[in-house]
Amino acid sequence: MSTALRHLKKDPVLANIIRRAGPYKITYGEPIFEELVRSIVYQQLSGRVASVIYGRLRAALGDGPVTPQGILKLRTDRMRRLGLSGQKTLYIRELAKHTKKGSVVFEKLPEMDDQTVIEHLTQVKGIGVWTAHMFLIFSLRRPDVLPVGDYGIRMAIQKAWNLPELPNPQEIEKIAARWRPWASVASWYLWRSLE
């Protein structure tokens, strides 16, 4: 990690964020079905609300891991009563179906490059590039992912670089070019800068 931090501190704005945020303490999950279900639940919700809904889903499935079989045994109306929107219920069930039939194979994801992982996951309705980016960073532990569509990243860059409006993906790529190959680490610090 010291190599990444030395590299990122060459950007004076990011160096200031790193100094204020302190040590790098990212929390990783595993590259498994359950983590992607969790990501879907957390999409566009506050962490507290998402945690409650995810806790209800886990409880409804009983002890043990969240599996495609377990999800498909839950009725749609039951999933809705747990607090999941109709769309998220559909997305989670679609992921379960794709995983069960073998069109999404979690065991193969660690061997794939980032772009192939994105293509593999986004074939499932409801899994977009943002969700794939989060999975790459937090489950596959990829060091150089830049989630240009993430609202928090956009807000942090706007604030830190004193931009008049939220930057678009091309502007983010331009600012972040010097962070490569450690864009995931830079992203983690940008999220911390908003706390």
Q: What is the DSSP string of 13-79?
A: HHHHHHHHH-S-------SSHHHHHHHHHHTTS-HHHHHHHHHHHHHHH-SS---HHHHHHS-HHHH
Does residue 12 have a cis bond before it (omega within 30 degrees)? no
The catalytically annotated residue of 11, 63, 114, 150 is 150
State the span(s) of the chain assigned CATH 1.10.340.30: 33-138
SS (H, E, C) 155-167: HHHHHHCCCCCCC
CA distance 127 to 8: 30
Angle, in degrees to the nearest 10, between helices 12-21 and 183-193: 60
State the span(s) of the chain assigned CATH 1.10.1670.40: 2-26+146-193
pLDDT tens profile 68-112: 999 999 999 999 999 999 999 999 999 999 999 999 999 999 999
Considering the entire predicted model, what is its pTM? Answer: 0.89
Domain 33-138, second-level architecture: Orthogonal Bundle (1.10)
CATH assignment, 2-26+146-193: 1.10.1670.40
Residue 45 has pLDDT above 90, yes or no: no
Q: State the Cα angle at 119 between 39 and 133, rounded to 5°.
A: 35
Task: Establish whether 77 is a catalytic residue.
Answer: no
- Which tokens is 150 given? 């993430």
